[in-house]
Amino acid sequence: MDSWSRFLDTFFKPDLIRHYLPSIAAGTVTTIEIAAAIVVTGIALGLVLAVVRTFRVLPINVILVTCVDIMRALPPIVLVLLVYFGMPNIGINLPSFAVLWIVLSLVLAAFAEEIFWAGILSIPKGQWETARSTGFGFFPTLLYIVLPQAVRLTVPPLTNRTLAITKNTALGTVIGVPEILNQATTGQSFSGNATPLMMGAIAYVILFIPVVALGRLLETRFRWSRA
């Protein structure tokens, strides 16, 4: 057997591809479901937290910033394991899907809050003052004048961060969420061959390349030359 056919046999074995295609496909659907749920709740929560922070109520902001920093500092896998194996001991049994969704949503929310906050801070004071001078209250100013500008500025960093965190859905494998990597490793251990893992890798690429492209598109669309 020459090395080229050994390579194909290790990573692209046709009968294994046929055999594991359904499970990898099912894993892909699961990954999409969790990733979509994380993106929606994580970004929404991050935006809400950033808005709460603008009210500058000291005790609330101290708690908020502390929690955000902890979420950003911890490796997500530590949180996943802690919640999944710790919570049952205090009587809370969460399905693995829910644990992964909640933990990664909170991590994304923490990063998104920082990104939105930086965006809000970067809007010049004059924008606030002008809006206030035309009769807008604090919250309407935030809603109609500051956030629309801040959100545009945050599209590139937010896209990057969202990608980085949704890729962490692969952590679901350690708590048995049947997502892509979980299906692939199962296939690998049953077949003793890396083909299922390669299929998993390809599934991730197919899944995330369009997201990267969409991020680029949004970046261009939301760019405007500032006066």
- Binding footprint of another protein on the chain (CB under 8 A): 124, 126-127, 129-137, 140, 144-145, 148-149, 152, 224-227
- In whole angstroms, the minimum distance from the beta carbon of 221 to another protein comes to 12
Residues near 203 by beta carbon (within 8 Å), at least 6 away in sequence = 24, 27, 28, 31, 180, 184
| Class of residue 44 by CB neighbours under 10 A (exposed 0-12, middle 13-18, buried 19+) | middle
Query: Quick one: 93 or 225, whose CB is closer to another protein?
Result: 225
CA pair distance 23, 156, nearest whole angstrom? 34
CA angle 128, 129, 131 (to 5 degrees): 65
Query: Quick one: 7 or 144, whose CB is closer to another protein?
Result: 144
**Tokens encoding 193:** 């061959």
- In whole angstroms, the minimum distance from the beta carbon of 29 to another protein comes to 37
- In whole angstroms, the minimum distance from the beta carbon of 131 to another protein comes to 8
Query: Quick one: 126 or 210, whose CB is closer to another protein?
Result: 126
SS3 13: coil
Query: What residue has token string 């693995």?
Result: 96
- In whole angstroms, the minimum distance from the beta carbon of 153 to another protein comes to 10
- In whole angstroms, the minimum distance from the beta carbon of 155 to another protein comes to 13
**Tokens encoding 40:** 């929606």
Query: Quick one: 31 or 154, whose CB is closer to another protein?
Result: 154
Query: Quick one: 95 or 148, whose CB is closer to another protein?
Result: 148
